[in-house]
């Protein structure tokens, strides 16, 4: 069971990082696209955001599953794990902020604020990479 949870955890993290990178690249290309392409690109970016959100939910579920089937809750006594977990909380807060921004914009019938989404995207990507580094240290 632990191996299955690890597989889903690593696959989810890979999907989240990949979708985030693709979304950042698409965002950088927006200024060079004709206005008629914006709805299609917006739909593509929304789909990537959904992949990231589902991946984050799976990361939470598999993370707690791995703790339950693996080292147990004493893993929280490790300062490196505590720091990693703090960054997971930051990443989750960024994800919630991005999703709320998209939902509010959708309800208002307009695209989300591009500057806000840009910085939330950069913040989530940097935070995710920091989490990988801290995980390597915590589980070494």
Domain boundaries, the chain: 2-138
The residue behind tokens 């693709």 is 22
Please report the pLDDT score of residue 53 as a whole number: 95
Looking at domain 2-138, its CATH architecture is: Up-down Bundle (1.20)
Axis-axis angle for helices 2-29, 38-69 (nearest 10): 160
Q: What are phi and psi of 72, to 5 degrees?
A: 90, 180
CA 109 to chain centre: 25
Listed in sequence order, the residues at least 6 apart from 26 whose beta carbon sits closer than 8 Å to its beta carbon are: 41, 44, 45, 48
pLDDT band at 72 (very low <50, low <70, confident <90, very high): confident
- What is residue 113's DSSP assignment? P
The pLDDT tens digits for 9-59 are 999 999 999 999 999 888 888 778 887 887 888 888 899 999 999 999 999
Res. 114: pLDDT tops 90: no
Quick check: 73 pLDDT over 90? no
The larger pLDDT score, comparing residue 63 to residue 34, is at: 63
């Amino acid at each position: 069971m632990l191996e299955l949870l690890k597989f889903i955890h690593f696959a989810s993290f890979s999907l989240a990082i990949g979708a985030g990178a693709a979304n950042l690249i698409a965002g950088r290309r927006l200024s060079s696209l004709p206005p008629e392409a914006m709805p299609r690109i917006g739909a593509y970016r929304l789909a990537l955001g959904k992949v990231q959100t589902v991946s984050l939910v799976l990361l939470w579920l598999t993370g707690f599953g791995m703790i339950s089937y693996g080292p147990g809750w004493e893993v929280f006594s490790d300062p490196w794990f505590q720091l990693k977990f703090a960054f997971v909380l930051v990443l989750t807060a960024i994800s919630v902020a991005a999703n709320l921004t998209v939902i509010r914009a959708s309800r208002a019938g307009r695209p989300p604020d591009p500057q806000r989404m840009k910085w939330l995207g950069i913040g989530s990507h940097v935070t995710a990479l920091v989490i990988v580094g801290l995980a390597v240290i915590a589980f070494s």
